[in-house]
Amino acid sequence: MSNLAKQFFTLQVGSLVSDAERTYRVSHLISTDTVLAVELATGQSQRLSVEGLKLVDAAQPKEAKLDRDLLDYSEKDWEEGQRRLQAIKPLLENPLRSRAEAERIAAAQGVHVGTLYRWLAAYTDAGHVTALVPERRGRKYGTRLLDETQEMIVQSVIDDFYLHKQRRTVVNAVEEVQRRCRLAKVTPPHPNTIRNRITRVPEGERLRKRGRKDEAVNKFSPVRGSFPGADHPFAVVQIDHTPADIICVDEVHRKPVARPYLTLAIDVYSRMIAGFYLSYDPPSAASVGLCLAQAMCPKREYLAELGVAGNWPVWGRIATVHCDNAKEFRGVVLERGCEEHGINLDWRPVKVPRYGGHIERMMKTVADELHKLPGTTFSNSKDRKGYDSLAEATMTLKELERHLAEFFVNNYHQRVHSELGMSPLRRWEMGLTGDASNAGLGLMPLPHDPERILLDFMPYVERTIQPYGIQIDKINYYDPVLDPYINAIDSTNGAKGARKQNFIIRRHPSDISRVYFFDPAAHRYCAIPYRNLAHPPMSLFELKEVRRKLEEEGRRDVDEELIFDSLDRMRARVEEATQKSKAARRYAQRAARPSASMPKPAGRSPSRGGAPATPASAALTASPFAAVPATTFDEDPFAMPVRPFEELALKR
């Protein structure tokens, strides 16, 4: 058996294949086991089973006519090609054909027998009917009629005058050709001839030589199907944000709120969606971290929570996260989380958007899907003309999240990807199980503690432990698990410069009713609730808004009780205004109460009686990745913003 017989091949659009002595060109990839192909002899489109196809040798000679699309031929020329095919068909079907038979057929067709043999040779070499279609009549494209001197003058002007960083115009080039022709005492070509010569200069060359090299590279350098280094699942994951092209409504009154933001992560090797995150808040390090945490964890329970039937078998340790240079990708929280889990955070080169082509194309795919939904904003005002997005909006943020999960799992992952020649799910599985040329990675490692991954990507601060516990933004937290670390001294600093030890504290932006203290002795996170358990849960967005309101009122000595009193008053005003103001509804959604995927305070912590503190894994539910509001952080992720939020219409 030859090596070629043992190889596998991947069908792609444009592949030449054979089936039952007939040759086809693949036009569409329908599913993992069928394709749509055009028979080259007849031009008929047929659905074929992949199992019976053989790849036609790509090394066979190709003529220039192969570069033309089938629809580029006129109906008359195509009919002539079909007529010639019918003429030589008896010769093709008879391997013992004779010269006398060829002469008889040629006479019947009204052509010389040599012409018939040329048709036969052309079809035999090319293997398709386009070889028999007549060439276009008239002057060939690129034919030049100028004499040698005129040609040299025109070319010299294009090379050293027009293709120059000075970016002279076509009119300037025509005038320069005319000037040089006068000096050479030759007749200048017609201006249209000069314009045509300039038009034939490849655009990439024109951009490069006229001082726009970066644009030429981005536009004309190939974005290869295999991203550098993305040779197995989770070798490279690209992540980015976009405003979703749809208006969502609130959960209670079903009235328009705003366009949410979508954070999306895609595995470059397989094009599988690794994770996504929806929020009304602008992109932040928190939204990036939550998206990455979802990407690395199993999603069965998450899909069950959304009510989506299907399989999303993507999890494991990511080698490289590839993202742009936006500030939300350079936060300390994200960098530390990636360092913790051995992820290489790689920023794409500045001004080279083609390096983010996979995620950008996926964003376009998502946008096309959203344009089918009620309340879509389409891509621009021109496409939206005559469509009232606010009036048509019907989906809540949770419903949109469910729809996207359904689309990813049961549609996009299952259909054939045009560049891969297979579905993303099949590609992912192939990367794990291997094929004829690759051994495969084997089963992806499962995270022992998914909640820990989520916590590692949550915003954090460092605090010392005081007798009253921990204070963050004037709010106190306490649990007996903190007692051994009260006023603890940092032993790494030496006795001479003794100082108190800082500990890592994390909190989820959607619910700050408890924080997560990393116990250095137990090597785990423990949930630490409010010191005063009577206080209600609150989001970080609400806390910032309360602090801003108090500052506007001139309150400088802010304490915990004042914060929660102000929170109660503000929530009452929002409740009154919710039905009257879209801004108030947006506020209510961003300040939503803790969702099913977040920790829920349930009375006094059992640890207050001396029992061990509740670990983070017990405080978090099994699926901590639902769409909850995110908050943008500065260098200190818990610091109050200097720039206030936009004024909300909370009054009557």
Higher pLDDT among residues 4 and 448, named by residue? 448
Nearest to 292 by CA among 266, 268, 269, 272: 266
* Alpha carbon separation from 116 to 41, 99, 107, 551, 574 (Å, rounded): 17, 11, 10, 93, 86
Mean pLDDT to the nearest integer, 72-91: 81
431 pLDDT more than 60 = yes
Nearest to 540 by CA among 482, 467, 476, 459: 459
Whole-number mean pLDDT of the chain? 77
Between CA 604 and CA 479 the distance in angstroms is 10
Nearest to 407 by CA among 629, 227, 246: 246
Q: Tens digits of per-residue pLDDT, 102-147?
A: 899 989 988 898 888 888 888 777 666 777 888 766 555 556 678 8
Which of 64-68, 169-173, 402-406 bottoms out in mean pLDDT, i.e. has the lowest?
64-68
Between CA 561 and CA 533 the distance in angstroms is 12
DSSP 606: G
614 pLDDT more than 80 = no
Bridge partner residues of 347 (DSSP): 323
Between CA 390 and CA 258 the distance in angstroms is 9
Backbone angles phi, psi at 179, to 5 degrees: -65, -45
Secondary element (H or E) of residue 451: helix 450-456
The token pair at 578 is 């919710």
Between CA 227 and CA 236 the distance in angstroms is 8
Residue type, position 451, single letter:
E
Q: Tens digits of per-residue pLDDT, 181-192?
A: 998 888 999 999
Q: How many residues does the chain have?
A: 652
Q: Tens digits of per-residue pLDDT, 312-326?
A: 999 888 989 988 766
Share of the chain above pLDDT 70, in %: 73
- Cβ atoms of residues 479 and 605 within 8 Å: yes
> Which residue is listed with tokens 């060109």?
25
Predicted local distance difference test score (pLDDT) of residue 5:
29
Predicted local distance difference test score (pLDDT) of residue 79:
82
Three state DSSP letters for 375-407? CECCCCHHHHCCCCHHHHCCCEHHHHHHHHHHH
* Alpha carbon separation from 106 to 92, 129, 148, 411 (Å, rounded): 14, 19, 44, 55
The token pair at 59 is 């090394």
Between CA 412 and CA 406 the distance in angstroms is 9
- Residue 414's contacts (CB-CB under 8 Å, 6 or more residues apart) are 423, 425
- Cβ atoms of residues 370 and 376 within 8 Å: yes
Identity of the highest mean pLDDT range in 126-130, 212-216, 384-388, 628-632: 384-388
Secondary element (H or E) of residue 545: helix 540-552
Nearest to 62 by CA among 28, 14, 9, 26: 14
- Cβ atoms of residues 530 and 475 within 8 Å: yes
Between CA 340 and CA 458 the distance in angstroms is 12
The secondary structure of 313-348 as a DSSP string is ---S--SEEEE-S-GGGS-HHHHHHHHHTT-EEEEP
650 pLDDT more than 60 = no
Q: pTM of the prediction?
A: 0.54
Contacts of the segment 160-169: beta carbons below 8 A, 24+ positions apart:
162/198, 162/201, 163/201, 163/205, 163/206, 163/209, 163/210, 164/209, 164/210, 165/209, 165/210, 165/211, 167/210, 167/211
The secondary structure of 213-274 as a DSSP string is HHHHHHHHS---SS-TT--STTSEEEEEEEE-SB-EE-TTT--EEEPPEEEEEEETTT--EE
Predicted local distance difference test score (pLDDT) of residue 400:
94
Between CA 306 and CA 641 the distance in angstroms is 34
Angle, nearest 10°, between helix axes 113-126 and 75-93? 90
The secondary structure of 136-165 as a DSSP string is PPSSPTT---S-HHHHHHHHHHIIIIISST
423 pLDDT more than 50 = yes
Q: Is the dihedral of CA 536, 541, 542, 544 positive or negative?
A: positive
The token pair at 362 is 């996926």
Backbone angles phi, psi at 35, to 5 degrees: -135, 160
- CB count within 10 Å of CB 382 equals 7
Torsion of CA 227, 228, 232, 237, to 10 degrees: -60
Higher pLDDT among residues 225 and 23, named by residue? 23
- Cβ atoms of residues 428 and 270 within 8 Å: yes
- Cβ atoms of residues 335 and 288 within 8 Å: no
Predicted local distance difference test score (pLDDT) of residue 35:
75
Between CA 618 and CA 204 the distance in angstroms is 59
Higher pLDDT among residues 269 and 334, named by residue? 269
